[in-house]
Structure 1
Amino acid sequence: MDLELRHLRAFTALADHGSYTRAAAASHLTQPALSRTIQQLEAVVGVRLVDRSSRHVALTPAGREFLGPARRVLGDLDRAVRDLRVHRTLRLGFSWLLPDPWAQRTLARFERATGATVDLVRVDDPATALASATVDIAVFRGPAAPGGLTVHPLFDEERIAAVAASSFLADRESIDWSEFHRWPLVVNTVTGTTTPDSWPPDAAPKTVIPCANYDEWLETVAADRGVGVVPALAARRVTHSGLRFVPLTGAPVLPVRLAHLTAGGRRPLLREFLDAATAAGNDDGVR
């Protein structure tokens, strides 16, 4: 009989608990099964490891000497398995709604091809999340990502205007990009993608109503404190009785990119994910 992991686990459990009864319970074995496993281990190594003459479980000198290496083998194996599982998970960061159906198609294609999984992580600042290793790859919208990142363009999104249901703009068939200088602009200063800098200086909104997250942005627009601009997918993903979405004309498109730390670009799962993301972005031209 060869030495097996079950032998080492039974032996270290017995050493830890000092009792066949407690060790068997911790190992999810019956007491006779644990006893047989210990006897098999002693037969494999050819030396007695447990002193059965004592009223309490005690290791022999050989058993005490063997315990350290047994723990190291199990510890090394457990760490290797944990590391392998970590490396079979990719963490995708995003600060706002993921483009659909691109995101769903990308995840399905990637997980089917690799057997790995994707964890979706909502972050306020994707660049900071990448730098701190909170995520492995992140979705960026709008302006180019900061230095130190490798950026992969995906596609462009259309923008749409958001106004209060009570606003005189709610019944408009469309709003032109050049009109926004007339009204206060509600800006999510943390994760928003449209700011006064999105316009030429002479056409930019003169008043900014700041807020710190998307929920505040929704409620501020719904309260008719100003108008907002978001990616067009919000019109089909967001339901709010106090809000209306109005098509835009003349608005610049919003670039959507994936980015990761340049130093981590050789990780195989990243390449697999980028392949899946590119292929999904090309499917029927759907975002």
Structure 2
Amino acid sequence: MPVPLRLCLPGMTVELRHLRCFLAIAEEGGVTRAARRLHVGQPALSRTLRQLEAHLGVLLVDRSTHHLELTPAGQALLPRARAAVAAVEAALDPATLGDWPLRLGHAWSALGDHTTPLLRAWQRDHPDIPLELRRIEERTAGLAQGRVDAALLRGGTGSGMQGDAPVPGKGFHVELLRTEPRTAAVPADSPLAARESVTLADLATHPVAVNTGSGSTRPELWPPHARPVATLSVANTDDWLAAIAAGRAVGVSVESTARMHPYPGVVYRPLADAPGLPLLLVWPDPPTHPAVTALAALIRDVINSSADQGS
């Protein structure tokens, strides 16, 4: 039977530093690296962690293994600690005094063609709540670090992503918005650019550009016996496009990338035999902003309205 996570006990008052220390330990995977990150001594950091555990009445870190791991209680606290620290930082940010922006993260392409209709509809329906669209080229688009209140993430089972889905872990609500068709990105002077569509086998004879920061494509997208001849690692979408335009590689993405990221020297073609890529809306549970559920409802309306007009 799991130990309940008690957040309100008499005695010591939990301060923000306790949560920061816990987050550093969890994210760095060890006390030594966490202490270095926070510029504090290891004994002081360990003492702060013990104080937090004593207040909660549970162990947050499993100290019995060589590699530091969170206990189930630590896993349960992790998203709440991130949300609490992010909320305090947002509340104390002088730039946001007077309003409370809703931060929507994405790694690339946002909602594709639906992005502008969403921003216009939000401004119309919620003029008192700024909606900030933040492009953060990181696998969770800033969600894991508490930098956004919700994120548009691409990936999931069968998508060819390492670690299955890009969701940060437990404590998050995940909603499937749609499944996007895959597309190939090839150099404009490549013979592949002259075709109406291409296949995974066509691309496998060329080096494939892999965006290691936020991309959705890995060699596992291809069958084991037909993997690409080579991969070219890049750090972000801009470098991915530049490598393809220069003829150094080909790439795989989704239809929205072709619309949102036209690039000189890059031609997009439908990828006939690749599975679609799930587009997810993910936010902490409980939400870090009271308007997140309204945003989710509006995104669904915008997507459904576009589908109805196209039918």
TM-score (norm 1): 0.65
In the alignment, structure 2 segments of 5+ residues that lack a partner are 1-91, 157-164
The alpha-carbon deviation at position 121 of structure 1 amounts to 1.1
Q: Note if 1:111 corresponds to 2:134.
A: no
The alpha-carbon deviation at position 191 of structure 1 amounts to 1.4
Which residue is equivalent to 1:229? 252
Q: Which amino acid aligns with 1:142?
A: G
The alpha-carbon deviation at position 82 of structure 1 amounts to 8.9
Shifted more, 151-160 versus 171-180: the winner is: 171-180
Match of 2:277 among 254, 263, 270: 254
Shifted more, 193-202 versus 131-140: the winner is: 193-202
Q: Note if 1:203 corresponds to 2:226.
A: yes
Match of 1:183 among 206, 230, 239: 206
Q: Note if 1:124 corresponds to 2:146.
A: no
Structure 1 residues 187-210: Cα deviation after superposition (integer angstroms, max 9, x where no partner) = 111111111122232233241111
State the SS of the aligned residue for 1:129: coil
CA distance in 2, matches of 1:249, 1:131: 33
State the SS of the aligned residue for 1:155: strand
CA distance in 1, matches of 2:225, 2:232: 19
1:110 and 1:272 in contact (8 A); partners too: no
Q: Which amino acid aligns with 2:305?
A: D
CA distance in 2, matches of 1:153, 1:213: 24
Which residue is equivalent to 2:216? 193
2:141 and 2:153 in contact (8 A); partners too: no
2:104 and 2:134 in contact (8 A); partners too: yes
Which residue is equivalent to 1:14? none
Which residue is equivalent to 2:15? none
State the SS of the aligned residue for 1:138: strand
Larger Rg: 1
Q: Note if 1:141 corresponds to 2:154.
A: yes
Which residue is equivalent to 2:287? 264
Which residue is equivalent to 1:278? 300
1:184 and 1:208 in contact (8 A); partners too: yes
CA distance in 2, matches of 1:127, 1:233: 18
In the alignment, structure 1 segments of 5+ residues that lack a partner are 1-78
Matches within 5 A, 1:144-163: 144=165, 145-148=167-170, 149-163=172-186
1:94 and 1:126 in contact (8 A); partners too: no
Shifted more, 179-188 versus 249-258: the winner is: 179-188
Q: Note if 1:220 corresponds to 2:232.
A: no
1:162 and 1:229 in contact (8 A); partners too: yes
The alpha-carbon deviation at position 84 of structure 1 amounts to 7.6
Which residue is equivalent to 2:111? 99
Q: Which amino acid aligns with 1:117?
A: P
Q: Which amino acid aligns with 1:271?
A: T
Q: Which amino acid aligns with 1:180?
A: L
Which residue is equivalent to 1:38? none
1:164 and 1:227 in contact (8 A); partners too: yes
State the SS of the aligned residue for 1:91: strand
The answer to which structure has the higher helix fraction is: 1
CA distance in 1, matches of 2:175, 2:98: 26
Structure 1 residues 71-125: Cα deviation after superposition (integer angstroms, max 9, x where no partner) = xxxxxxxx9x9988443x2011111122233222222333322331101111122
% identity of equivalent residues: 33
CA distance in 2, matches of 1:90, 1:84: 13
CA distance in 2, matches of 1:82, 1:236: 33
CA distance in 2, matches of 1:126, 1:189: 9
The alpha-carbon deviation at position 168 of structure 1 amounts to 2.2
After superposition, the CA RMSD in angstroms is 2.6
Count of residues paired in the alignment: 207
The alpha-carbon deviation at position 129 of structure 1 amounts to 1.9
Q: Note if 1:166 corresponds to 2:189.
A: yes
